[in-house]
């Protein structure tokens, strides 16, 4: 079996509610995503999805398309789709890693598609491919991302009305406002698993000052208070030990994670298959955390559809202990699946079919891609991309 063709569908999902990462220099828009269809010469088809977002990292929808079309697709076409290690090695040769893996959000689309294809070829779901048990459910955490205290109260109330019991709070750069937000959330949800995510938005002095206050308010995890290159800053926060210190941005490859563990920079990691090039890398990161006695929580990048299904499968198979901050169901208003992943009372049902366990509505995918309007400025018209 060989990879025969790979189609690219760039699109933007309509969104609902305020989420800071959906406001770009181009203005407020939808949630960018690139969907990949990998076809073989022997029948099976694999679907994957990358979720670039310029306000979170350097990958944009436009650069994802170029990297896929001009670099990754040529080196994967004709390969054995079941050779995951060989595929990742080929992608490393096509776009050489710098400090860490190149274009990881984009590569995740291909990693997921190859997992989907492998599962379908074997007639197995992901947990069966990994020889892992299955619970079939992942509880979700509600994201509190508000700019006023009134909006915080409204957000928490909406989450509780929809059955959510646990909360993750976006903080930084204002520590005084952050503490008030956390105080409100904790008062309203005294038994919740509560973690704060600064998305690298604090200075070191601010982080050192606010960490004990957040701990006193009942915060159980402080995620990404500093940019990942601030190694000495993370070491200082870990030595302070006020609240468990978890990293996210910057932890792309298992090699980086292993080095940061030995540098004593973190107490745990917020997992994201979409961030680190897909499931192969993220599985190894979970294993490293477990080997070194570190904690891990389940997070995401407002993952839609295919990325959401794959992430649920990973967290379920590796027995995630806390509610996952997978907020696609909270902020996304549309789906490209024939049967969207079910979420009821803040519990997501993990798909159980072969591969990713979900089926793409190709007509609706094409329609949503056609609705996505951008000044692409590529070397050839967007209409000439396969699948569009």
Instruction: Say which CATH superfamily domain 129-349 falls into.
Output: Enolase-like C-terminal domain (3.20.20.120)
Query: What average pLDDT does range 230-248 have in this prediction?
Result: 98
User: What's the confidence (pLDDT) of residue 222?
Assistant: 98
Query: What average pLDDT does range 167-178 have in this prediction?
Result: 98
Residue range 86-135, pLDDT digits in tens: 999 999 999 999 888 999 999 999 999 999 999 999 999 999 999 999 99
The pLDDT of residue 165 is above 50: yes
| Backbone φ and ψ of 360, nearest 5° | -80, 135
Do the Cβ atoms of 110 and 67 come closer than 8 Å? no
Q: How far is CA 328 from the centre of its chain?
A: 10
Counting residues of the chain whose pLDDT is more than 70, the rounded percentage is 94
User: What's the confidence (pLDDT) of residue 155?
Assistant: 96
The pLDDT of residue 27 is above 80: no
User: What's the confidence (pLDDT) of residue 24?
Assistant: 66
Confidence of residue 338 (pLDDT cuts 50, 70, 90): very high
Q: In what order do the strands lie in the sheet with 142-144?
A: 142-144, 167-170, 194-197, 221-223, 245-247, 268-271, 295-298
Alpha helix (H) ranges present in 172-253?
175-188, 204-216, 231-240
Could you tell me the two tokens for 387? 């699948």
Closest CA to 274 of 109, 41, 134: 109
Residue range 65-91, pLDDT digits in tens: 999 999 999 999 999 999 999 999 999
Instruction: Say which CATH superfamily domain 3-124+360-384 falls into.
Output: Enolase-like, N-terminal domain (3.30.390.10)
| Backbone φ and ψ of 293, nearest 5° | 70, 25
247 SS3 class: strand
Portions of the chain given CATH number 3.20.20.120: 129-349
Closest CA to 109 of 34, 188, 4: 34
Does residue 43 have a cis peptide bond before it, meaning omega lies within 30 degrees of 0?
no
Could you tell me the two tokens for 350? 């993990």
The pLDDT of residue 383 is above 80: no
Residue range 260-274, pLDDT digits in tens: 999 999 999 999 999
Closest CA to 227 of 244, 206, 202: 202
Whole-prediction pTM: 0.94
User: What's the confidence (pLDDT) of residue 375?
Assistant: 54
Portions of the chain given CATH number 3.30.390.10: 3-124+360-384
Beta pairing class for 31-40 and 3-13: antiparallel
């Amino acid at each position: 079996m060989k990879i025969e063709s790979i189609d690219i569908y760039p699109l933007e999902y309509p969104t609902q509610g305020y989420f800071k990462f959906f406001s770009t220099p181009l203005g407020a828009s939808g949630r960018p995503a690139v969907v990949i269809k990998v076809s073989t010469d022997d029948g099976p088809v694999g679907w994957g999805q990358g979720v670039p977002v310029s306000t979170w990292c350097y990958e944009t929808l436009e650069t994802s398309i170029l990297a896929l079309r001009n670099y990754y697709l040529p080196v994967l076409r004709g390969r054995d789709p079941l050779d995951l290690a060989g595929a990742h090695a080929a992608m490393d040769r096509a776009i050489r890693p710098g400090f860490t893996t190149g274009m990881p959000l984009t590569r995740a689309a291909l990693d997921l598609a190859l997992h989907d294809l492998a599962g379908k070829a074997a007639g197995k779901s992901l947990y069966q491919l990994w020889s892992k048990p299955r619970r079939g459910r992942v509880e979700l955490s509600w994201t509190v991302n508000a700019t006023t205290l009134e909006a915080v109260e409204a957000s928490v109330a909406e989450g509780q009305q929809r059955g959510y019991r646990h909360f993750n709070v976006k903080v930084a750069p204002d520590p005084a406002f952050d503490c008030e937000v956390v105080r409100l959330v904790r008062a309203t949800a005294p038994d919740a698993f509560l973690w704060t995510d600064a998305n690298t938005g604090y200075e070191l002095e601010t982080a050192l000052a606010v960490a004990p206050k957040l701990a006193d308010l009942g915060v159980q995890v402080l995620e990404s208070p500093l940019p990942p290159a601030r190694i000495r800053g993370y070491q200082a926060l870990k030595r302070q030990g006020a609240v468990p210190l978890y990293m996210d941005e910057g932890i792309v490859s298992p090699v980086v994670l292993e080095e940061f563990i030995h540098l004593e920079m973190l107490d745990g990691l917020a997992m994201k298959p979409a961030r680190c090039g897909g499931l192969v890398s993220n599985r190894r990161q979970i294993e490293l955390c477990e080997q070194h006695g570190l904690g891990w929580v389940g997070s995401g990048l407002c993952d839609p559809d295919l990325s959401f299904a794959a992430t649920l499968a990973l967290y379920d198979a590796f027995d995630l202990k806390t509610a996952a901050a997978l907020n696609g169901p909270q902020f996304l208003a549309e789906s490209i699946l024939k049967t969207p992943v079910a979420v009821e009372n803040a519990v997501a049902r993990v798909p159980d079919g072969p591969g990713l366990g979900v089926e793409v509505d190709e007509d609706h995918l094409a329609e949503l891609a056609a609705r996505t309007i951008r000044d692409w400025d590529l070397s050839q018209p967007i209409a000439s991309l396969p699948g569009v």
